């Protein structure tokens, strides 16, 4: 809006407000009649001049206020544009660092991108996407035998561990800037050291589709004390859990949808000890257990739908096949509460599946 038009609009509103106030006062005073007492006296003339000057001063004040407001508005807009420009430049610099040849520079870029995500609320998801995108870049799951290549592999691994640590820290309660509720896409990522303990997934899509969890020691990937809350969709679909240890101890499935359908458990030790399946859906349909073990010691099944069996989903598949037990161990024998047991859809106990005492597989839906 042009300045002149802006001033005119403000004056119109000011005059309208003044007339309204005077009218209300006149009505509150009983609508008195104006009495004419003859010709104007010199004092009346002076009073009229004072009123006119006051009106002119008021109009000038209104104009000054409008001009000051417009100047302030333009300055704020200019400051906002300058701040946005600085944020864009910081994003470009951090992204360039993440693409550097030196691992130390890439690590600095990870910290810079995370800091920018904290400050740039409007584009926080974009910054998070860049960090997740880095983890989706190809990375050898196993250390090479060549000494020089091993050093490069270890340095790159440290950069990835740093990024995963930054993401995990922002998913815990009490983080200075929370990333809870944002999307995280780890599709195809190689994850061998990740600490998500005490994280809260309160919404968004958390995607581990085709991710490879591979450990070179114990307790490599940790989801201990995590809460998968309502509104969250976590996809471990087609993920592979190979060697090492993956912990979901004391995790709470309190809503949402956490799927392990068509995942492969080949040699990993996966623990759901003392986990609480209280709400939501946790399907293992089509999952393959061909090595290692999945331990549910102390877990409680009181509300979630945990499904290992065949499931008909016309909109996605004609039929989702049941889980395949072929050499691995899935141990439910020491669960604490089996009031809402998993669904298997099997009549014969497969090798490797252990159920609580006095529980018949045919009695489970």
- Per residue in 53-72, pLDDT (tens digit) is 555 555 566 666 666 666 66
| Confidence label for 320 from pLDDT (cuts 50, 70 and 90) | low
- 51's CB contacts (< 8 A; 6+ apart) are none
In a domain, 79, yes or no: no
pLDDT at 121: 93
Q: Taking each helix axis from N to C terminus, what angle separates 103-119 and 147-170, rounded to the nearest 10 degrees?
A: 10
Enter the tokens of residue 336. 């604490």
- For 341-353, write each residue's pLDDT tens digit: 888 877 888 888 8
Q: What is the pLDDT of residue 128?
A: 97
- Mean pLDDT in residue range 62-89: 70
CA distances from residue 311 to 149, 261, 285, 316, 343 in whole angstroms, order as listed: 46, 11, 7, 11, 10
How would DSSP label each residue in 187-246? TT-EESSEE-TTBEE-SEEEE-TT-EEE-SSSS-EE-TT-EE-TTEEEE-TT-EEESSEE
Regarding predicted confidence, which is higher, 28 or 272?
Answer: 272
Tell me, yes or no, whether 138 lies in a domain: no
Which pLDDT tens digit goes with each residue over 32-47?
665 555 565 565 555 5
Q: Which two tokens stand for residue 162?
A: 């740093």
pLDDT value of position 268 = 84
Q: Decide if 135 is inside a domain.
A: no
The dihedrals phi and psi of 8, each to the nearest 5 degrees, come to: -60, -45
Point out the least confidently predicted range of 149-163, 176-190, 298-312. 298-312
Give, for 325, the enclosing helix (H) or strand (E).
strand 324-325
- Looking at the structure of the chain, the number of domains it has is 1
User: pLDDT per residue over 259-298, tens digit each?
Assistant: 999 999 888 888 999 999 999 889 888 899 888 889 999 9
Q: Which one is predicted more confidently, 218 or 134?
A: 134
Instruction: Look at residue 310 and tell me if it is in a domain.
Output: yes
> Is there a contact between 208 and 186 (Cβ–Cβ < 8 Å)?
yes
DSSP string covering 42-63: HHHHHHHHHHHHHHHHHHHHHH
CA distance 237 to 80: 43
Chain Cα centroid distance, residue 290? 33
φ and ψ at residue 41, rounded to 5 degrees: -95, 160
State whether the Cα torsion 203-200-330-341 is positive or negative.
negative
Give the ranges where the chain is alpha helix by DSSP (H).
3-28, 42-98, 103-119, 124-135, 147-170
Q: Is residue 219 one of the residues assigned to a domain?
A: yes
| Distance between CA atoms of residues 168 and 163, nearest Å | 9
Nearest-angstrom CA–CA distance, 107 and 103: 6
Rg (CA), the chain: 34
Are 113 and 105 in contact, with CB atoms under 8 Å apart?
no
**Tokens found for residue 287:** 């999952």
Residue 160 lies in a domain: no
Residue 155 lies in a domain: no
pLDDT for 321 equals: 77
pLDDT band at 18 (very low <50, low <70, confident <90, very high): low
Whole-number percent of the chain with pLDDT over 90: 45
* DSSP single-letter state for residue 311: B
Residue located via tokens 């995108």: 133
Q: Which of the two residues, 282 and 29, has the higher pLDDT score?
A: 282
Q: Does some domain include residue 53?
A: no
Is the pTM above the cut of 0.95? Answer: no
Provide the 3-class DSSP secondary structure of residue 34. Answer: coil
- Domain span holding position 252: 181-365
Mean pLDDT, residues 199-204 taken together: 92
292-325 burial code (b ≥16 CB/10 A, e <16) = bbbbbbbbbbeebbbbbbbbeeeeeeeebebbeb
């Amino acid at each position: 809006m042009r300045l002149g038009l802006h001033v005119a609009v403000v004056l119109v509103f000011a005059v309208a407000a003044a007339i309204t106030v005077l009218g209300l006062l006149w009505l509150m005073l009983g609508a008195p009649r104006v009495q004419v007492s003859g010709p104007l006296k010199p004092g009346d003339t002076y009073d009229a001049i004072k009123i006119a000057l006051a009106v002119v001063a008021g109009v000038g004040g209104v104009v000054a206020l409008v001009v000051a407001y417009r100047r302030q508005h333009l300055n704020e807009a200019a400051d906002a544009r300058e701040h946005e420009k600085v944020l864009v430049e910081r994003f470009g610099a951090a992204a360039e660092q993440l693409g550097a040849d030196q691992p130390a520079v890439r690590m600095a870029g990870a910290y810079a991108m995370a800091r920018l995500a904290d400050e740039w609320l409007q584009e926080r998801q974009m910054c998070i996407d860049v960090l997740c995108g880095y983890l989706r870049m190809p990375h050898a799951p196993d250390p090479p035998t060549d000494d020089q290549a091993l050093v490069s592999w270890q340095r790159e691994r440290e950069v990835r561990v740093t990024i995963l640590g930054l993401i995990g820290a922002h998913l815990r309660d009490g983080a200075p800037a929370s990333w809870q509720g944002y999307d995280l896409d780890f599709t195809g990522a190689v994850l061998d050291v990740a600490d998500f303990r005490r994280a809260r997934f309160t919404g968004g899509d958390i995607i581990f589709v085709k991710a490879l969890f591979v450990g070179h020691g114990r307790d490599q990937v940790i989801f201990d004390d995590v809460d998968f809350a309502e509104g969250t969709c976590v996809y471990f679909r087609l993920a592979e859990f190979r060697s090492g240890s993956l912990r979901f101890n004391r995790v709470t499935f309190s809503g949402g949808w956490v799927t392990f359908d068509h995942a492969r458990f080949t040699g990993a030790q996966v623990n759901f000890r003392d986990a609480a399946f209280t709400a939501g859906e946790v399907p293992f349909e089509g999952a393959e257990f061909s090595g290692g073990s999945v331990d549910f010691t102390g877990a409680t099944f009181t509300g979630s739908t945990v499904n290992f069996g065949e499931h008909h989903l016309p909109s996605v598949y004609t039929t989702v096949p049941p889980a395949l037990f072929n050499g691995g161990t899935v141990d439910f024998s020491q669960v604490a509460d089996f009031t809402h047991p998993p669904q298997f859809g099997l009549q014969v106990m497969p090798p490797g599946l252990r159920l609580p005492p006095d529980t018949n597989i045919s009695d489970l839906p």
